[in-house]
Structure 1
């Protein structure tokens, strides 16, 4: 309303050049604002006796409020305070001087389309005691009213009771483009389309006017002469004659297209900001690089996101120093696009639901476009490449086919098959992370500057999320490396301490074993000698026990001495098959009371092997003896030799009880044994012997089925140096 008051003041200034016209009128005139203050009067109204309120010294700068206490006796005051749907008044009043009854006409022109307040307005007052005076006044008032209406910026239209246009001011011509001659007598519905929301607006306005007698600032859409659609605010009231009977309608129509456009822009920006905040929340919830790339690409293409058809993610590879395709989202064909869009049209999935669905599909999601994007590799050294410039200069790039850069982009275009795309950089705190490429290759919708700005805003948030994930991954790797380093350091410390203890123990054990071995050999030798010559069966029993235990102690001392001092002997070419077969025979002789058999499958083309024969026999015998000890009666050991890519391979497979899984990790550790009378050095010594030959030993076992030891030793490959040892099967013992 304050705006309208200012407009009235401006109108008065504008009408200053009409002041002489108002002063020459044979009627009184005054302007009243929305607060019922008289802002301006002409000299004629000052001399009208029936106006009981003093009107002297009134100017626009010094308005005077209407005295409401005079309404009972002042027709002007009554007219000013009357309902706004009354525009014409005929008042009778007794002249105070002549005591005669005189008739005056009062015409009020409201200059506001607001129904809440009846101002501001212009009041015209004239003595119409005679018919001739009333007729002249009507003509003059109509002319003056038309002049006033033509100077307003709003469209002011009057209708008859048939809703046909009766008057059409300049504001209506400027708003709709029709001349008054083109619309006079036409139905007002010509400004509304025959169907759609605009037609509904016309019906709604008509219904409200029928119910209430007026409609205020009702928003609608109307058509201009050149078929443009404009947004308007419509105020419509019923006009009544002096008898209170309706004779038409008045419409004030204001073009609010610019206001609506600004509201739409603001609403669109709010929606965009809301989407960005939602997508930012989802990005922050991602835990891995794979998750965040899914989130970013889905957000670019989803209906709840940026609504592009396809999106491609290229990240900087710091090792290869290139920009490489990582992942993509989008249909591979128009048919697939139609299927996806149709499904989403009816289901309306949220952004989070789409991302969850992709996580379920895994590697099968968008397989075709993923294969395309992963072929893209652009060296970072190609600074003139448009996509590298986009990344390094941190600014978006819009490509349209047919430009000067078709040639340099051809390798990329051959993979993504796009005629138009936008690339935006992923940069976070001067860290160049990669780029997002998006297009509308299916719908062919043009990429606008608004699309690019929205995508750029999203890319800054995406870059922050990727940088955070990469930082977390780097930190995780560093922490893992520190943990591994700490474990390795602890292991090395434990190994060092263990070696020190074993060295001390070995030195002591070597001295003790050396001092005990000779007397023990004598005891065992004499016990066996007496055993052969003693006639007493009871003595033979005890002597046999002495001889066996002495032999067992000799074997233990042998293992201890072998562990303490691994003799460095000369490596000579040996026939590996013959060496293994000799070990077979030794083990068979050492176990005459056990029923088992040893099968051999030797490679006759196996070359000679440079080795320490005694040490290898010790290793092989240890394995064979363990196999015999693990088997029951009628057990079987199979020995295989073969050549495998420059390596001599020996396998020992038994049918014994097998080794428990929890013991496999300790199998080659010193002093680890599951035998009730074992020392636990046999396999440890075997491993050391094999390692002395630059070889490897491994084992695999299953409880109840048996164990296989595999030994791999590098060969001395010389042409014609074959062993030629035949396959054979040991006799059943």
Structure 2
């Protein structure tokens, strides 16, 4: 009986196995095939035990035992092969049942989530720490309900203590009837994609900030702040050089960064406590962009010839591509002078390129933290440098346009003033001519009468009054004539200090009479200029006389002569009563005067003379404190 049952069941097992293998001939033994075989073997084994027959009796036949053993080995090989494949594809896999319990995972997800024990049998929430579990947003639950699983993106910390951005995607697993029995959760490493998105958003924000800034100094500070901010590129230090086309050199313009490790730690602590985002830092730049540090001062003194092939910054501009220096001490592209000045063994040079034309270069390093400078970081910095170059070009264009507008406005004001002076001068000349003839007659008759001896002293006094007023009118007419027809300056090489010295000498007695103390501060080695000495003396006399007359009770008068930006500056400072804002506004208007006996042409004539010499006059005054008249004249 036992032998018959054994034979029957042996044939039964063999037929079923042969049927399954034949059905899946040429195919990889996946989990569904293996599970069918397991079910068959399990059923037959249970049936035999129920009949009291040991499993081993089923396979007395040596050939059948050998086949089953080979089959088991193939089964184990396929299982290991499948496990190896799922472990090396770089994606975390987790199989869930309808109760969201884990029935299988691959090694990748266990490593990423730093699981110490097998998660099989646990709820998926226990390993994913997902807040959407049991809600309508749960991707696995949505899939079981026939919906489409949404993607969940989150950050995890791997067992190597690295931050990783991952995306969890739910995929349905159906049987032959199309029913969803399981859900496969795919966990994909999206860190690099997230970094790219972050960099693109960062570039967008920085680009918007730069394009909204047209003040060049502020823009340069903003650019280097972005390069050094931990919320952006995070370099320790950065320098910016711009091309000077006129001299074919690179000039250091600005540097941002600490000058020592102690200063670096202090700055980073202050920034972390004061600012919570890049926007906070950029907003602060609206209030301050002047940097007075040794590192910045050193950078502004640096000048490199673009034709010097030894300098790495010049090479970066010529080649129009970034240069990463990883060992400055042994890199032939880095000169000893630049290496010693910078002090960093690893740095990067990134060109500022716009419309295929170089504008300058950014140099950045991590001298204090020692963080490596990666290719990805340099690539992003290069894209940022392109935006920065465009912003710099816009700022420079705006500055040139603003300068031209200022020149145009100044020229227009001069033209209007010249036209006004011409009209007034023409009218003054006519009036002077018409008055001069009767005035001469009046003066002549008055002088004739003064020769007679009158017994009545009142008549003699009246004649003297007429003579004095005639003299005063003659002076006024002479001033008007000078104003209406200013002579063309006859310029020669003169020493302005000598002309001022001579003018002050002429006024010595007058100053003493008015109790005015004169102080002279002349810078040594003032260069000669082309000027008309007579007209210069006239200007100095006009301004000095006005200054003395503003101090009726005495005071201090200071004359300073210095050189400023290829110009000679003359400051005449008094401690008089000063001027009101209204008077200061009209000081150069013809015939405007605050003096009871003034003609109001002195300052107008003085301004005209200085402008004819290519210079300018600026007046600053405060009521009750005094006035400063500043004259600028170009050097030869």
TM above 0.5, one fold?
Answer: yes
* Residue 364 (structure 2) pairs with residue 419 (structure 1): no
What is the aligned partner in structure 1 of residue 467 from structure 2?
A: 551
| 1:668-711 C-alpha deviation (Å, 9 max, x unpaired) | 876545566x47279689979x99xx9x999999878999999x
5 Å matches for 1:177-188? none
Alpha-carbon shift at residue 266 of structure 1 (Å): 1.6
Count of matched residue positions in the alignment of Structure 1 and Structure 2: 509
Query: Of 290, 293, 301, which residue of structure 1 is paired with 2:217?
Result: 290
Alpha-carbon shift at residue 361 of structure 1 (Å): 5.9
What is the aligned partner in structure 2 of residue 591 from structure 1?
A: none
| 1:162-199 C-alpha deviation (Å, 9 max, x unpaired) | xxxxxxxx7699999xxxxxxxxxxx99x899999513
Measure the CA separation in 1 of the matches of 2:233 and 2:558. Answer: 67
What is the aligned partner in structure 2 of residue 69 from structure 1?
A: none
* Residue 383 (structure 2) pairs with residue 457 (structure 1): yes
Measure the CA separation in 2 of the matches of 1:172 and 1:670. Answer: 95
| 1:552-574 C-alpha deviation (Å, 9 max, x unpaired) | 43234322453466799xxxxxx
Measure the CA separation in 1 of the matches of 2:120 and 2:327. Answer: 51
* Residue 295 (structure 2) pairs with residue 369 (structure 1): yes
Alpha-carbon shift at residue 579 of structure 1 (Å): 8.0
* Residue 308 (structure 2) pairs with residue 382 (structure 1): yes
What is the aligned partner in structure 2 of residue 517 from structure 1?
A: 443
| 1:252-310 C-alpha deviation (Å, 9 max, x unpaired) | 999x8xx845x322222122222222222222232312222222212222222112222
Gap change, CA 1:106 and 1:423, over 3 Å in 2: farther
Query: Of 423, 427, 430, which residue of structure 2 is paired with 1:501?
Result: 427
* Residue 122 (structure 2) pairs with residue 207 (structure 1): yes
User: Residues 433 and 463 of structure 1 are in contact (CA less than 8 Å); yes or no, is this contact kept in structure 2?
Assistant: yes
User: Residues 90 and 106 of structure 1 are in contact (CA less than 8 Å); yes or no, is this contact kept in structure 2?
Assistant: yes
| 1:418-447 C-alpha deviation (Å, 9 max, x unpaired) | 101110100100332111111121122222
Measure the CA separation in 2 of the matches of 1:273 and 1:705. Answer: 58
5 Å matches for 1:14-25? 25=14
* Residue 392 (structure 2) pairs with residue 466 (structure 1): yes
Q: Secondary structure at the match of 2:370?
A: coil
User: Residues 112 and 158 of structure 2 are in contact (CA less than 8 Å); yes or no, is this contact kept in structure 1?
Assistant: no
Alpha-carbon shift at residue 329 of structure 1 (Å): 1.9
* Residue 199 (structure 2) pairs with residue 265 (structure 1): no
User: Residues 578 and 624 of structure 2 are in contact (CA less than 8 Å); yes or no, is this contact kept in structure 1?
Assistant: yes
5 Å matches for 1:248-327? 260-261=188-189, 263-327=190-254
Alpha-carbon shift at residue 389 of structure 1 (Å): 1.8
Measure the CA separation in 1 of the matches of 2:276 and 2:159. Answer: 37
Measure the CA separation in 1 of the matches of 2:328 and 2:197. Answer: 36
Gap change, CA 1:175 and 1:135, over 3 Å in 2: farther
Gap change, CA 1:425 and 1:701, over 3 Å in 2: closer
What is the aligned partner in structure 2 of residue 399 from structure 1?
A: 325
User: Residues 375 and 415 of structure 1 are in contact (CA less than 8 Å); yes or no, is this contact kept in structure 2?
Assistant: no
Of Structure 1 and Structure 2, the greater helix share is in 2
* Residue 255 (structure 2) pairs with residue 328 (structure 1): yes
Unaligned runs of 5+ in 1: 1-21, 33-38, 43-58, 61-79, 92-103, 108-125, 157-169, 177-187, 236-250, 535-539, 569-574, 585-595, 604-610, 711-733
| 1:184-224 C-alpha deviation (Å, 9 max, x unpaired) | xxxx99x8999995136x47555328999x99999999999
Query: Of 319, 332, 338, which residue of structure 1 is paired with 2:265?
Result: 338
What is the aligned partner in structure 1 of residue 368 from structure 2?
A: 442
Measure the CA separation in 2 of the matches of 1:602 and 1:666. Answer: 27
Gap change, CA 1:23 and 1:416, over 3 Å in 2: farther
Measure the CA separation in 2 of the matches of 1:264 and 1:87. Answer: 41
Moved more, 431-440 or 329-338: 329-338
5 Å matches for 1:32-431? 40=23, 88=39, 135-136=58-59, 144=71, 146-148=73-75, 150-151=77-78, 155-156=82-83, 197-199=113-115, 202=117, 205-208=120-123, 260-261=188-189, 263-342=190-269, 349-357=276-284, 362-364=289-291, 367-401=293-327, 405-406=331-332, 409-431=335-357
Unaligned runs of 5+ in 2: 1-10, 91-103, 127-132, 134-139, 171-181, 488-501, 520-532, 563-569, 631-636
Moved more, 478-487 or 502-511: 502-511
What is the aligned partner in structure 2 of residue 27 from structure 1?
A: 16
Alpha-carbon shift at residue 323 of structure 1 (Å): 0.6
CA RMSD of aligned residues (A): 6.4
What is the aligned partner in structure 2 of residue 100 from structure 1?
A: none
What is the aligned partner in structure 2 of residue 96 from structure 1?
A: none
User: Residues 429 and 481 of structure 2 are in contact (CA less than 8 Å); yes or no, is this contact kept in structure 1?
Assistant: no
Measure the CA separation in 1 of the matches of 2:561 and 2:196. Answer: 71
Q: Secondary structure at the match of 2:347?
A: strand
| 1:66-107 C-alpha deviation (Å, 9 max, x unpaired) | xxxxxxxxxxxxxx9xxx99962699xxxxxxxxxxxx8699
Gap change, CA 1:144 and 1:373, over 3 Å in 2: same
Gap change, CA 1:341 and 1:492, over 3 Å in 2: same
| 1:296-338 C-alpha deviation (Å, 9 max, x unpaired) | 2122222221122221111112344311212122222222333
What is the aligned partner in structure 2 of residue 680 from structure 1?
A: 599
Alpha-carbon shift at residue 518 of structure 1 (Å): 2.0
Bigger radius of gyration among the two: 1
Measure the CA separation in 2 of the matches of 1:284 and 1:697. Answer: 37
Measure the CA separation in 2 of the matches of 1:652 and 1:345. Answer: 49
User: Residues 275 and 304 of structure 1 are in contact (CA less than 8 Å); yes or no, is this contact kept in structure 2?
Assistant: no
